[in-house]
Amino acid sequence: MMTVAAIAAEYNPFHNGHAYQIAQTRAAGATHVAAVMSGNFTQRGTAALAEKRARIRSALTGGVDLVVELPLPYAMATAQRFALGAVSIAEGMGCVDVLSFGSESGYLSILQAAAEAVDSPAVVARQSELLGTGVTFARARQQAVSELCGDEVADMLSSPNDNLAVEYIRQLRRIKSRIAPFAVTRIGARHDEKEASGEIASASFLRSLIRSGGVDQVRGLIPPQALAALREALEEGEGVFREEALRPVIFGVLRRMDPASLSRLPDLSEGLENRIYAAIRQAERLDEVYSLAKSKRYTAARIRRTVTAAFLGMEDGYGASDTGAPYIRVLGFNERGREILARMKQTARLPVSDSLAYLRRLGGRAEAFAELEARSTDLYRLGLPKVGPCGWDYTAPSVRNI
């Protein structure tokens, strides 16, 4: 009997913690694992360390059976929209039984209580009051839940993975999905910790090691086959993304924009466009832009997402009020992944293809999303040692590890 688990991930890069999550998910009964993976840009608004095909290869050798793409408007977004996109794809596959996610606490019942709490009218009303004092959305929500539901429930909103877990559960509840949530307790290094704990290290620490000394610096912290796949992809000429190569281009784009055009970017509100407009005219480096525009209300991650969205041409929202992804794009698979795809031919509720060109021809939101994905890849590749021509995303085949 096939039991399909879905995991939303960035795999930036794939590491032992991810392999552990997959192993725990399989131990709980999953026979097949599908990853809904971000493309070349991440939730924080930064470019991925390695181009997505390198990360797909690592995932397929590290235990994932099928990789599908989380479209950019969800991949580079708030936790709520990231979860909305991932859940809409898992639901759209029509054959997913379990949604597996990492959690600092591992307390599924309390995570579910938190998901229910944040949608309660009383919490929403108190949260609105607190937002009026100038605090961030995250702080206002956690304080409102703490006041009305207690610290145990509110604590689920205090750490990145638990907070994202709450959002996954909220989205599953919202659409009354039959998909069961499954929390895997994180082990080893905490999120963003700057050192390894045994054989587990945070993705941010691994990225810093690879940037400073190459992939050999992370031996033992990434599964051997996944490390070999990453090394091979980098040696083929893709290389590690270099943000400094894009700095003049990003500044050029931003300095041509006025507050009105900035205001059409996703997640812009409450005068943030004016802070970014002023910051880009004073700063000489991107980190200066982020620090100048940051405030008690606007987090650095939100500023980074806005700056990157401007660079990628994401004006006019790209479906900011929509209810989910318009298609399922297949990025790679192995033999078990092929079995999932065969099942999806009978169950999928969204168009499915490994051809972005085909998905573009569907028109409407699918066309807009596909064009944005292709453009973002063309712009991302400006930061690689081997740039290549435009249109790469339309012609690159899916990765097959069979």
Residues 6 or more apart in contact with residue 191 via CB below 8 angstroms? 104, 159, 160, 161, 202
Roughly how many angstroms between the first and final C-alpha of the chain, as a whole number?
21
Nearest residue to 377 via CA among 72, 59, 81, 11: 72
Low-confidence ranges of the chain (pLDDT < 70): 188-195, 197, 237-238, 316-321, 402
Compute the distance between CA of residue 85 and CA of residue 232 in angstroms, rounded to an integer.
31
Q: Please work out, in degrees rounded to the nearest 5, the angle formed at the alpha carbon of residue 87 by the alpha carbons of 82 and 93.
A: 135
Which residue matches tokens 């963003």?
A: 192
Compute the distance between CA of residue 328 and CA of residue 69 in angstroms, rounded to an integer.
7
- Sign of CA pseudo-dihedral 242, 246, 250, 251: positive
**Largest pairwise CA distance in the chain:** 61
Q: Where in the chain are the domains?
A: 4-104+183-232+324-401, 243-312
- Class of 4-104+183-232+324-401 in CATH: alpha beta
Q: Three-class SS of residue 119?
A: coil
Q: How far from the centroid of its chain's Cα atoms is residue 337's Cα?
A: 21
Q: What is the pLDDT of the chain when averaged over all its residues?
A: 92
Strand 96-103 vs strand 66-70: parallel, antiparallel, or unpaired?
unpaired
User: pLDDT over 70 for what percent of the chain?
Assistant: 96
Strand 328-334 vs strand 66-70: parallel, antiparallel, or unpaired?
antiparallel
Compute the distance between CA of residue 183 and CA of residue 166 in angstroms, rounded to an integer.
10
What pLDDT does residue 344 have? 99
- The CA distances from residue 130 to 143, 188, 274, 307, in Å, are 8, 35, 23, 27
What pLDDT does residue 237 have? 62
Residue 4 identity: V
What is the tens place of the pLDDT at every residue in 123-182? 999 999 998 898 888 899 999 999 999 999 999 999 999 999 999 999 999 999 999 999
What pLDDT does residue 188 have? 66
What pLDDT does residue 146 have? 95
What pLDDT does residue 238 have? 64
Tell me if 65 sits within 8 A of 342, measured CB to CB: no
Q: Is 165 exposed, middle or buried (0-12, 13-18, 19+ CB in 10 A)?
A: buried
Task: Locate 237 and state its tokens.
Answer: 């000429």
Q: pTM of the entire structure? A: 0.94
Q: For residue 372, how many other CB atoms are within 10 A of its CB?
A: 17
Tell me if 153 sits within 8 A of 166, measured CB to CB: no
Bridge partner list, 399: 332
